Amino acid sequence: MTQIATIEKLLDADHAEIAVARKSACGHDCEECAGCGVSGASVYARASNPIGARPGQKVVVESSTKNMMGIILLVYMVPVVLFFLGYFLTAPFFPAAGQYVTAVIAFALGLVPAVIYDRRLRRRGGLDFTIVRFF
């Protein structure tokens, strides 16, 4: 997955801190919409800097698509699947209201692995980015 970033500062000879504009999960232009409240927000991350980019320069950064798809699956699909499982598997045991309560609890439990993974990823330093070229 490639994105455009700005070099904020050099951390050492081989790494830089980058600012990547936050993109919405819905794929819309956040600057125009601002519906979710993250308009103009940037994500700061550490990136490998093999091309020797300097602060203030715009660059193209790359991260592992495999890792990103795993995160997307964990954050979006696991809670939704658990919601439906909670709803349909409890049908023989509970009336409709009980099914909904169980489904919501299952959905909330599906968020727990995403929170745990997010905390582990932050301790490790975030996603791995590599600066591949100047923009």
pLDDT, tens digit (0-9, with 9 covering 90-100), for 95-114: 888 999 999 999 999 999 98
How many CA atoms are closer than 13 Å to the CA of 96, on its beta-carbon side? Answer: 0
Number of structural domains the chain divides into: 1
Comparison of pLDDT for 52 and 63, the residue scoring more: 52
Residue type, 83: F
CA angle 20, 23, 27 (to 5 degrees): 155
| Residue that the structure tokens 């582990």 belong to | 120
Is 70 exceeded by the pLDDT of residue 28?
no
58: β partners: 6
Is 90 exceeded by the pLDDT of residue 65?
no
The per-residue pLDDT for 122 is 79
Provide the domain limits for residue 22. 2-134
Q: What is the DSSP letter of 13?
A: S
The per-residue pLDDT for 13 is 87
pTM of this structure: 0.61
The per-residue pLDDT for 132 is 93
